[in-house]
Amino acid sequence: MRNSTALISAIVIGALIGGVTMGIPSIRHRLIPATTTAAATTETAPAQTAENKAAPAPEQQEATPAQNNTESTDTANAAKANTITPSAGIDTKTALKDRVLGNADAPLTFYDYSSLSCPHCADFHTNVLPRIKRDYIDTGKVKMVFRPFPLNQPALLGEQIARCVPEEEYFPMLDLLFTNQEKWVFGDAKANLRQMVKVAGVTDALFDECLQNKLLEQGIVDIASDGSKRFEIKGTPTFIIGEDNSKGEIVSGETDYDSFSQKLDKILMDRMIETPKKK
């Protein structure tokens, strides 16, 4: 898909519109107003049933227990499983603050609405963002603000955990979850996620405390709901470049480095800001 995501075809039309698809509970009633209708996408996906545990993309297959629990992960888990002591309570207000990658004073901002279970979001974060970071963010030209748009329960759970780790560890946690997406979103996502984040030092106590925080859960849904209303976001990833309002340029669906960097360059030049030299 190029204008939206396969996840929207397979999950939004199923899970977000009507209950449970592929074993993933719907969060549509909290994310999208009842009057909103999911838009048709430019790419359709095969119909899937509740027995189909395959997620997040139609072409992927369910991971096996062996895939979810590799020897390397187990070794790292054993070393780091108990390195974080859970706080007496999670500061929800701090946890829900915008997460910013780059210099806060950078002249250009883009806002990234992504779902942790979305394969195209994972592709952007693992293959495109590192180059954007090198050429634009690390040079002080651009900053990125990440805003969650969870399309299903696994994505919501993953975002909750990412918001419970120290703020400076937020983007490393996103990197861990996007890079290993296939290992935790399949099957029992909660159990898989619990095992996955132990490598980052998240104990069972902190994991449970985080997922039991209903204010945090609702706050994440509210961020997505606000994006849905203000920018009519229907698919992920969706980027708002420039302004955090209707004047911002909206880019939806899968994108590559060249096309994304061209949009950044154009806005920088329009603002009389020198574009970075590409490495």
Residue-level pLDDT at 234: 86
Integer angstrom CA distances of residue 231 from 9, 31, 142, 243, 247: 19, 14, 21, 11, 10
pLDDT at 168: 94
Q: pLDDT of 80-135, one tens digit each?
A: 334 433 344 789 999 999 999 999 999 999 999 999 999 999 999 999 999 999 99
Which among 116, 94, 255 is positioned nearest to 181, based on CA atoms? 116
Assign 196 to helix, strand or coil. Answer: helix
Distance (Å, whole) CA 252 – CA 59: 21
Q: Are 7 and 236 in contact (CB under 8 A)?
A: yes
pLDDT digits 0-9 by tens, 185-236: 999 999 999 999 999 999 999 999 999 999 999 999 999 999 999 999 989 9
Count the alpha carbons within 13 Å of 104 in the hemisphere toward its beta carbon.
2
Give residue 117's identity as a one-letter amino acid code.
S
Which residue, chain included where needed, has tokens 């603050």? 97
The answer to whether the CB of 156 falls within 8 A of the CB of 27 is yes
DSSP3 helix / strand / coil % (the chain, rounded to 5): 50, 10, 40
Q: What is the pLDDT of residues 231-245, one digit of tens each?
A: 999 899 999 999 999
Give mean pLDDT, residues 245-267: 95
Q: Using the predicted structure, report yes or no on whether residue 3 has a pLDDT greater than 90.
A: no
Q: What is the pLDDT of residues 152-178, one digit of tens each?
A: 999 999 999 999 999 999 999 999 999
pTM exceeding 0.75: no
Tell me whether residue 46 is exposed, middle or buried, using C-beta atoms within 10 angstroms of its C-beta: 0 to 12, 13 to 18, 19 or more: exposed
SS3 142: strand
* Nearest alpha-carbon partner for 201 in 71, 76, 96: 76
What tokens does 252 get? Answer: 């939806």
Highest mean pLDDT among 7-16, 53-62, 208-217: 208-217
Render pLDDT for 13-43 as a digit per residue (tens, 0 to 9). 333 333 322 333 333 333 333 333 333 332 2
Helix (H) or strand (E) holding 252: strand 249-252
User: Is 110:172 a contact under the CB 8 Å cutoff?
Assistant: no
Q: Residues with Cβ < 8 Å from 248, sequence gap 6 or more?
A: 111, 231, 240, 241, 242
Structure tokens of 62?
Answer: 């369910």
pLDDT at 89: 73
- Extract the tokens encoding 202: 């998240």
Q: Is 249 helix (H, G, I), strand (E, B) or coil?
A: strand
Q: Minimum mean pLDDT among 1-15, 62-76, 145-159: which range?
A: 1-15
Residue in the block written with tokens 């227990």: 65
d(CA 216, CA 164) in angstroms, rounded, equals: 9
Contact 264, 131 (CB under 8 A): no
